[in-house]
Chains A and B, each alone.
Chain A
Amino acid sequence: DAKTTQPTSMDCAEGRAANLPCNHSTISGNEYVYWYRQIHSQGPQYIIHGLKNNETNEMASLIITEDRKSSTLILPHATLRDTAVYYCIVSTGRGSTLGRLYFGRGTQLTVWP
């Protein structure tokens, strides 16, 4: 079901930028790229989403390649509280995907002091 590929785990030093890659080579033209994260034993938290253009909000930046086959989530100054599993999801949010998100295994990001 999941149409994305992410590394299983990544490490990052506190205060440095964390760059989390995601491959979605079969993405279709009307599918958005969403990023969520899940801190241990909590519900997933929406981070950011985008279609074609790069996006930035108070939490992160999303860089989508021109061919849209991959993207990178950037946490500009990672803190210990950013340690979580990060999920990259592609979806139109319509039709058979209405109301549902396909979560893969995500990337376990560990931020160390």
Chain B
Amino acid sequence: KAGVTQTPRYLIKTRGQQVTLSCSPISGHRSVSWYQQTPGQGLQFLFEYFSETQRNKGNFPGRFSGRQFSNSRSEMNVSTLELGDSALYLCASSLVGADLNYGYTFGSGTRLTVV
């Protein structure tokens, strides 16, 4: 079966701009989580969506937002980009969130560089 697909793979943006990243979960998976990974902070949880509803949120400023569509695809948006937003953004999907049988399946991520 197809894995978790994230687009684009690489992105370069300028400070102050906004960006939208996309995540297509595994077919049938209804939970999508987003993470930010930086060398300094490691992997940090951004938010989780299930059936178009945000169920959980990490400690990130309001510039970071997301949404989930009826087909379970998810997008995250970062507005007013800062240099510190440069990171690998990963999404993960599971059947219901914390799928205890198979865990979460991660995509390969979107590498965002803010200049």
Contact = CB atoms under 8 A, between A and B. Distances in A.
Contacts of A41: 88, 109
B90 A43 contact: yes
Contacts of B108: 42-43
Interface residues of A, number: 25
Interface residues of B, number: 28
A49 B103 contact: yes
Given A93-B98, A104-B42, A105-B42, A99 B33 contact: yes
B25 to A, nearest CB: 12
Interface of B, helix, strand, loop or mixed by DSSP: strand
A93 B97 contact: yes
Interface of A, helix, strand, loop or mixed by DSSP: loop
B100 interface: yes
Contacts of A102: 45
Contact of B48 (A43, A92, A99): A99
A101 interface: yes
Interface in B67-115: 88, 90, 92, 97-98, 100, 102-109
Contacts of B4: 43
A8 interface: no
Residue with the highest number of chain B CB atoms closer than 10 Å, among A87, A98, A99, A100: A99
A43 B92 contact: yes
A81 interface: no
B106 A98 contact: no
Contacts of B90: 43-44
B103 A99 contact: no
B56 interface: yes
14 contacts: A41-B88, A43-B90, A43-B109, A44-B106, A46-B103, A93-B100, A94-B98, A97-B56, A98-B48, A99-B49, A99-B55, A99-B56, A100-B48, A103-B35
